[in-house]
Structure 1
């Protein structure tokens, strides 16, 4: 059983992210964009994918969104408004993004309702860490926890650095487990409730 609290995990990971150099960030972003293109292509040109705009030290870049937009029908981005769950809006290119609450960048209105997430074949989800059971550590605001229950049939893939895919994280009853994790070095890997992992099919 993990002895660190969620707060301790968050502090450690955020400090580690601040220490990542620009060259590494760029290489990770390129790797994630390439992996996202493969993932989207496998879904087919008619698919809808929910993604997000990486901010701060989060791995990836808008190149992930552009890669997805080139191979699927629609890429939706989250719109965070208190108290949640997330709203959604179509991605129309980097120049269409505007500053938003919580230091995010979002599309401009009009927005789509939270249950639009159920139309997606895949949700790419930001995370600070994911463990081998699929337990996700977010920033603690609860936006995704309130949203994911609205898309019970959608595949959930958290995006983290390779070092942020860990053995075990603390879990609360309301936490929604991920189906897979996407990392720059390992690509897409599924997880299971027994704590194992295997390459995605």
Structure 2
């Protein structure tokens, strides 16, 4: 059986190829903004490397009257916090080295979290970077709606899951939004 670290290496390479092959995918994701479930504010992220860029989606959500926030790592081995944010506002690197809103931005509780991933399956499985930040955050906020943001080509047949892995409620790709309707591993 392939290890999670080997899966991550393969998935990173695939995601990089998908990003290079379809640089306009993020714009097509934004076309499906209205299909997302309710929940305010909507937590996005700032893309790092080959992650699917949520910037066009952020603009579409704002145009639809939704409010936004971004995750912030303020402590290792702890859940993420979220700060209110709009495109164009200044960002600084957080403890995990990710762009995040400045401390003067209001801390909020998101109703919907869109997260990056390396791979996903049809049962809500999500393969993340391995730091556990989103799993800890989802465990601390069990009632928040969890949506993966990915290229459609990142789908795999089945991911190995562990007890601490939190299932997604749906996935948004350039091909559209797919809810999981309560199906779990």
Scaled to the shorter chain, the TM-score interval is: 0.7 to 0.9
Report the RMSD for the aligned CA atoms in angstroms: 2.3
CA distance in 2 between partners of 1:112 and 1:15 (Å): 36
Distance change >3 Å, CA 180–CA 50, structure 1 → 2: same
Counterpart for residue 72 of structure 2: 79
Is residue 69 from structure 1 mapped to residue 62 from structure 2 by the alignment? yes
Residue 67 of structure 1, CA deviation: 1.7
Among 178, 181, 184, which residue is 1:189 paired with? 178
Structure 1 gap ranges (5+): 196-201
Q: Would you say the 8 A contact 1:131–1:168 is kept in 2?
A: yes
1:30 matches 2:27: yes
Deviation at 1:112, TM superposition (A): 5.6
Aligned-pair CA distance for 1:22: 4.5
2:94 is the counterpart of 1:104? no
2:35 pairs, out of 29, 32, 39, with 39
Task: Structure 2: state its 5+ residue gaps.
Answer: none
1:179 aligns to 2:169 (yes or no): yes
Three-state SS of the structure 2 residue aligned to 1:89 is strand
- 1:129 is matched with 119
168 and 20 in structure 1: CA distance in 2 versus 1, 3 angstrom threshold: closer
The verdict on how the C-alpha distance between 1:152 and 1:24 changes in structure 2, with shifts beyond 3 A counting, is: same
Choose which of 54, 76, 87 in structure 2 pairs with 1:93: 87
Distance in 2 (alpha carbons) for counterparts of 1:189 and 1:21: 20
Question: How far, CA to CA, are the matches of 2:105 and 2:13 in structure 1?
Answer: 34
* TM-score, normalising length: structure 1: 0.80
Report the alpha carbon displacement of residue 194 of structure 1 after superposing the two structures with TM.
6.5
User: Any conservation in 2 of the 1:87–1:111 contact (CA below 8 Å)?
Assistant: no
Deviation at 1:8, TM superposition (A): 1.2
Counterparts of 2:41 and 2:62, CA distance in 1: 9
Aligned residues: 183
Asked if 1:139 corresponds to 2:139, the answer is no
Greater fraction of residues in helix: 1
- Bigger relative contact order, structure 1 or 2 (CA pairs below 8 A, ≥6 apart): 2
Question: Compared with structure 1, are the counterparts of its residues 76 and 55 closer, same or farther at alpha carbon in structure 2 (3 Å cutoff)?
Answer: same
